Amino acid sequence: MTEDEQKLAAAKAAVEHIKDGMVVGLGTGSTAAKMVDLVGERVKNGLDIIAVPTSEATARQAEALGIRVVGLDEVSVIDLTIDGTDEVDPEKRLIKGGGGAHLREKIVASLSDRMIVIAENKKMVGKLGAFKLPVEVIPFAAGALLPKMEALGSTPEIRMKDGQPFLTDEGNQIIDCAFGEIDDPEELALTLSTTPGVVEHGLFIDYADLVLIGTDDGVKTFGG
């Protein structure tokens, strides 16, 4: 299968977990977009759900497909969130944020009873860190935080778009930190979370309940 076919296979398997009456968190990214398209098809065929999107882009996509979209303040619980990832290791730890939506993604995931992660085969890694770790920071602190990220062992750079610093949906900047293999993701996550000026980081520890990986041999399942 091509990478797109692997993504679609994982997305199809994940959507099977959505049932009538659920509040569903809709992730962001190329794989999640395929999932949202599939949810839109099921809604058109009568599926009754409420969706909480993790980005403005996902909200626009969902609304265009006729999916009922609400904000976090309009729901008391999120039954299930389905989202993609940039990397996932055998312990279901993730690096997310390649699309810059990891702050909202983590908030939605943290409020969900269950999180399903979907990805193509190349996203499954033995050790996290080949993908640059996104660290969302307030613009005021971005420049000052570069040497701090370097002191943690990374090669950091402020994410740019069209010659200007990339801004998230919340108006923050992102420092992409090239660590290489991360020996202790939990320790790094704690260090980043307690660094003033850091809003959020792309390490998702103990969030994923089920990981669905599209491969040439079908969809592989990790977790339950």
Whether the Cβ atoms of residue 119 and residue 213 lie closer than 8 Å to each other: yes
Q: Is 98 one of the annotated binding-site residues?
A: yes
Predicted pLDDT at 223: 86
Taken in order of first residue, the domains within the chain and their CATH numbers are 3-125+205-216 (3.40.50.1360), 133-195 (3.30.70.260)
Q: So what's the pLDDT on residue 121?
A: 98
Task: Flag whether 86 is marked binding.
Answer: yes
Q: What is the pTM of this model?
A: 0.97
Is 84 annotated in some ligand binding site? yes
The residues assigned a catalytic role are 105
Going from the first residue of the chain to its last (224 residues), give the mean pLDDT of each consecutive group of 10, the final group possibly shorter.
97 98 97 98 98 98 98 96 98 98 98 98 98 98 98 98 98 98 98 98 98 97 86
171 has binding-site annotation: no
The DSSP symbol for 46 reads T
Cβ-Cβ contacts under 8 Å for 193 (sequence gap 6 or more): 201
What is the residue whose two structure tokens read 């919340």?
Answer: 170
Q: What is the pLDDT of residue 141?
A: 98
∠ CA 42-56-9 to the nearest 5 degrees? 40
